[in-house]
Amino acid sequence: MNISELMRLDIAKRADASFKKVKEVQAILNASITFIEDDGVRRDGKLAGIPVALKDNISTKGIRTTAASNILDDYIPIYDATIVKKLADAGAVFVSKSSMDELAMGGTNRTANIGPCLNPYDPKRITGGSSGGSAALVACGAVPLAIGSDTGDSVRKPASYCGVVGVKPSYGRISRYGIIPYASSLDHVGYFTTNVADAALALEVLAGRDDLDMTSSSIPVPQYSKLLNADIEGKRILIFDNVLKAIKDDDILSAFEKLIAGLKSKGAIIETVHFRDDLMKCLFPTYFIIANAEATANHSNLDGIRFGHRIDGDSMEEVMINTRTRGFSSFIKKRFVIGSYSLFEENQDRLLRKAQKVRRLICDEVLNKLKTADVLIAPASGSIAPLIDSPSTDELNDEYLVVENHMVIGNFAGLPSMTLPLGQKEGMPFGVNITCNAFDETGMFTIGKAIEEISGLKDLTKEVL
């Protein structure tokens, strides 16, 4: 059920099915790390009695929070993240800490220390990551709302692969206080629902200034749910030509063409724009350098002395070495090596600062185009969810560099971005992504609502039991 449907039930019964279902689907999807027995049903608020799953990098007082890493396997926070307090104040009921890529550093949800999270539409396929557990729990109908985080496309790519709505609002729109970080200049709190109306309501609850997060915005939070409509007459929509030209899947291209025709029929003004190819091919390497450098700095305190499950040694140095060697997977250690290399003083001009300059060029290119438009649109991915045991991707080909990384632009520039279901192929969903001007979430939801009406793919779920 979606939020609106649950609101019609007696408040004491709204979370009953979710408590049971998140546990029952675990054997099939492996989507949760910790189950939460929250018996304190609230009687008021915009989300009164509504069950919610939280990504396991979100601090929950007294509840284990591991970020899917062995090094934090026994970490129990002494405080709640700001968004946990906001959700609780709105009456939400927490049912699960959801699976994720280790420390949110990945795009497949295969690197969690409990093993990979599986796609409800086909358990032989990935959910995408790093917020795959949250996406899976919404996609299978276990919860109507799940919280994730998005550093490159970690909410929006799983939304495409799992056939749900994934929202990453503007940088600063939602407080990050209490979120275990990946890369501070790129991290956003995001979330999943099954429809745009629920997404608009959720942002009303989650958004707002927080003095505990100095990067959070003081711009007033609109009543998104009351402003929601599908009137896109005169809206200027930019088609992301670089992405379309790199996609090889005819079914995805055909579905996208039908969507564009539908948007035109609703009065939207459609324009195709092409961005500098050299900049678009730099999306992934720029992200990889900046994100891993910031992650290396952010996680330097996971050493067994200040934080982290301690592995004993004969000296402080040996404790740190043992803890980090056994506490992190090889995948994470590889990223820390790359991040450390970029932070070496002799390499900063050649790597990190150059990547930061390229990031600025990419942002300028996109922001200049959006000055006279409302939204940039493209398929969220060039394929359905890959098989878990599929061979490694060639990360240097054009399709990967552009198609599978274009949503990082929303993180580079801090722009609101949302993925919605677009179609299905071989029984698997695929999505479309829209990116708008900063703090124009109202416009984003309006265009999203129109897309939802055209596609007819509202409230998609896939039963797995």
Q: Could you list the active site residues?
A: 55, 130, 154
The separation between the first and the last C-alpha atoms of the chain, rounded to the nearest angstrom, is: 15
Cα 444 to Cα 28, 169, 200, 382, 415: the distances in Å are: 34, 9, 10, 22, 10
The Cβ of residue 247 has, within 10 Å, a number of other Cβ atoms equal to 18
Read off the tokens for 282: 């730099």
Number of H-type helices and E-type strands within the chain = 19, 13
d(C-alpha 47, C-alpha 90), whole Å: 5
Q: Count of residues for the chain?
A: 465
d(C-alpha 205, C-alpha 173), whole Å: 11
Read off the tokens for 280: 């678009």
- Residue 386: is it exposed, middle or buried by C-beta count within 10 angstroms (0-12/13-18/19+)? middle
Angle between helices 330-343 and 283-298 (to 10 degrees): 90
Helix (H) or strand (E) holding 123: strand 122-126
Of 453, 433, 455, nearest in space to 444 by CA:
433
Strands 93-98 vs 51-55: parallel, antiparallel or unpaired: parallel
Asked whether the beta carbons of 283 and 405 are under 8 A apart, the reply is yes
d(C-alpha 393, C-alpha 345), whole Å: 32
Which amino acid is present at 101?
A: D
Asked whether the beta carbons of 241 and 265 are under 8 A apart, the reply is no
d(C-alpha 25, C-alpha 27), whole Å: 6
Asked whether the beta carbons of 380 and 157 are under 8 A apart, the reply is yes
